[in-house]
Chain A
Amino acid sequence: MDPIVAALAKAAGLDKALAQFPGDVTAAAEQALNNTGVVKVPTDPAAEPWPPMRAGQGL
């Protein structure tokens, strides 16, 4: 297993998953990389996330 993946998994507290299901942990790490790679994050710093904070609304 890639030592970086193993280190990240340990940092996330996934020691048991790492020991019992190393293939699933590796597949998940690859999936995460694939997912984040296709999002065209706005370059304009003023582009805010959705949904915005709305003070005084909600519960």
Chain B
Amino acid sequence: MTEPHWLSATEIGQAYADRTLSPVELVAALLARIEKLDPKLNAFIRLDAEGAMRAARQAEAEIAAGQGRGPLHGVPVGIKDIIDVAGLPTTAHSKILLGNIAKADAAVVQKLRSAGAIVMGKLSTHEFAIGGPSFDLPFPPARNPWNRAYHPGGSSSGSGSGVAAGLFPLALGTDTGGSVRNPASACGIVGLKPTYGLVSRRGVFPLSYTLDHVGPLTRTVADCALLLDAMAGHDPADPASVAGSAPYAGRLLDRGVRGLRIGFVRHFHEHDLQASTEVAAALEDVARVLAAEGAQVETATLPSLTEFAGINRVILCGEAWSIHAPWLRERPGDYGQLARRRLLPGAFMTAGDYVGAQRRRSEVIAAVEDCLRAYDVLLCASSMDPASRLDDPDQTAHTYPRQARTPFNVTGHPALATMSGLSSDGLPLSVQFVGRYFDEATVLRVAAAYERATGWHTQKPPAG
């Protein structure tokens, strides 16, 4: 049998049904692994061992009594520390919010608890999901299990690091400019930014109201679908939540890609930014694999990455300034330097700049919608480079904006990043699949077909 810490959620559910594993056994095994590895990885800000074991005992009793709650019952999950878990601090990895105890679970945590998932604790992030990786914060930055000298991506850093290292099979992250898909790319796992409005943001500390998304990070596409199904759904308390959103994301997972039209947005990594040779070669290989599986792959064109990034930054800075202005005025020294530098620009933008970016946003949304009328799914780069060294701020500053994730925060389309190979240095490479609004099922279908054809998900980092 696979070691418990490498079991997927799907396999965990089967093992519970077969009585070859119990929730208490699994959580005990994971806590032992966390005790051994997390001092080197820093995935956790706050481990809730007692709460996890209590939930495991409850799940075990319910399953034994035939009161199963579904496929996530008794499955452990880590929560990024900008998402509220009742009774635990939500620090956003910042001195500003030390001691900020959440009074209630975020809506998405409520949904996971209802599904029987076991909350393991709160996970490292960049400060307020924007300022990192940094060494001037109250908690150290998470590290990449493929090579601990490297950044695990961010801002959902602990989510990516912990899932990839086998500390927990599932995690929640948030994504305002790519912060679920970046750690998924850097750590060789699956990260999905759902359609804007599909998953409630209530109880999640905001970075940018019209760009923020909550998304799953997992080791397999099937787990991503399972977790998304548990997370999705209308929440009348979230003004962006969409009623009647489509559940059952995993319903097409085994359908393959034969007959699908896939638009390959090559200009993102060939012209707008030049990806590293290995990333570019891996992307061509993804296109080859999908074509061999029966998809029709053609070159597609969208507005430039430069413009998407500019729109994203103006909107993000404007909205984030409106949130952080009181603290930036009174407590600027309580921020780390990166967060301070990334949050202050909003003070120097005008209302006209913000509205202008939102007006241009309408046009680029229309351009992506036009493109997605011709294609079922788009294929493009996620990161242009493998992960950067954590102790090299210049390299991180160089590589961090070299990505193609922000377009889909601007437009709100669902976008999934997953592993597409290993670099010569043994670091994960990545690819991104993008779909029509609320058509996560087709995005997951393509990712599942690619996963089956290549088996990259079976690669494990050397950390454990």
Contacts and interface: CB of A to CB of B under 8 A. Distances in A.
Nearest 6 Cβ contacts at the A-B interface? A28-B344, A49-B358, A38-B310, A32-B348, A41-B356, A17-B332
A58 to B, nearest CB: 5
Contacts of B333: 16, 20-21
A36 B239 CA distance: 27
Contacts of A47: 359, 362-363
B347 A39 contact: no
Given A17-B344, A29-B348, A58-B239, 15 more contacts: A13-B325, A17-B332, A20-B332, A21-B333, A24-B337, A24-B341, A28-B344, A31-B342, A38-B306, A38-B310, A39-B310, A42-B359, A42-B362, A50-B358, A51-B210
A33 B237 CA distance: 36
A25 B337 CA distance: 11
B340 interface: yes
A39 B341 contact: no
B209 to A, nearest CB: 10
A24 B340 CA distance: 7
Contact of A49 (B306, B309, B343, B359): B359
13 contacts: A8-B347, A14-B328, A16-B330, A28-B345, A28-B348, A31-B342, A35-B314, A39-B310, A39-B360, A41-B359, A47-B362, A48-B362, A49-B359
Nearest to B344: A28
B365 interface: yes
A8 B311 CA distance: 22
A59 interface: yes
Contacts of A16: 329-330, 332-333
B325 A12 contact: yes
B359 A48 contact: yes
Contacts of A20: 332-333
Interface of B is mostly: helix
Contacts of A24: 332, 337, 340-341, 344
Contacts of A39: 307, 310-311, 314, 353, 356-357, 360
A28 to B, nearest CB: 3
Contact of B340 (A5, A17, A35): A17
B355 interface: yes
Given A17-B340, A29-B345, A36 B353 contact: yes
A27 B348 contact: no
B236 interface: yes
A58 B234 CA distance: 11
A25 B333 CA distance: 12
Nearest to B333: A20
Nearest to A45: B359
B73 interface: no
Interface in B370-386: none
Contacts of A59: 236-237, 239
Nearest to B361: A50
B349 interface: yes
B59 interface: no
A27 B341 CA distance: 7
A20 to B, nearest CB: 6
B317 interface: yes
Contacts of A48: 359, 362
A41 B340 CA distance: 27
Contacts of B239: 58-59
B348 A8 contact: yes
